[in-house]
Structure 1
């Protein structure tokens, strides 16, 4: 059974990053809106290859999410379906679904704007500002996840990712991987 702490983390992610149109459920349109938001952040136009690749990646993530979580097959993922799906993941993170691995890699690459294989504070905070979080909250979150270092590597990011979705320990730095800990 999912703990109240983990449920709050999952609902934070659901509401801030996935239910982009605030409809109360996640649908394909939310991923299309996210692609538009990312394009604005990066200065891409709809015909740019980077925009098309981002949209394609997000649609693949949506399809995997829908397949994994939409238990009543209504084309929407509710908050309850979302939490239940991540509870399954938390029991065995090493056997996460392909779409979850794609999502993890997508987030890392989104944050690694310079493409150097690591995320710095400016890259990290810019992404979360584009989703409406305060820069100072994102900077503080980066300082937690980086443990005071200048950058977070792909290896470190994967460990933080698992902490976010599987850990019940409020002191784990992975709780800050999505820009702030407001739960």
Structure 2
């Protein structure tokens, strides 16, 4: 059974990052809007190659998420379906679903705006500020997840990611990968 702490984290992610159109569920339109928001953040027009690449990646993520989490096949992921899917992940974190792996890599690459294979504090803060978080909260979160180092590598990010979805300890660094511990 999912703990209240993990439930709060997962619902924070559901409503703050995935339910882009605030409909109360996750659907394809949330991913369309996410692509548009990312393009705006990066200064891309709809014809830019990076915009198209982002759109294709997000649609792949949506299709895989829908296939694995939409248990009643209504084209929407409810909060209950979301929690169930992540509870299944927590029971076997060494075997993530396809979309979970794609999304983890996508978020890392989105934050690694310099393309150097690591995320620094400014890159991290810029992405999370676009979701409405305060820069100072993002910088504090980065300091926590990086353990004071100037950057986070892909391998470190993957461990932090797993930590976010499985940890029961509120002080674990992975709990801060989405910009702040707001739960």
Q: Give the TM-score normalised by structure 2.
A: 0.99
Partner of 1:94: 94
**Deviation (angstroms), 1:97:** 1.1
Task: After TM superposition, list the pairs within 5 Å mapping 1:1-183 onto structure 2.
Answer: 1-183=1-183
| 2:47 alignment partner, SS class | coil
Aligned-pair RMSD on alpha carbons? 0.6
TM-score normalized with structure 1 length: 0.99
Runs of 5+ unmatched residues, structure 2:
none
Task: Give the deviation of 1:132 after TM superposition.
Answer: 1.0
1-structure distance, mates of 2:67, 2:134: 33
Task: Provide the C-alpha distance between the structure 1 equivalents of 2:181 and 2:84, rounded to a whole number of angstroms.
Answer: 21
Q: Match of 2:181, SS? A: coil
Post-superposition offset of 1:36: 0.5
Between the aligned partners of 2:77 and 2:39, the Cα distance in structure 1 is 24
Q: Find the residue that maps to 2:113 and give its secondary structure.
A: coil
Deviant stretches of 4+, over 2 Å: none
Counterpart Cα distance in 2 of 1:24 and 1:98: 24
- Report the Cα offset of residue 167 of structure 1: 1.0
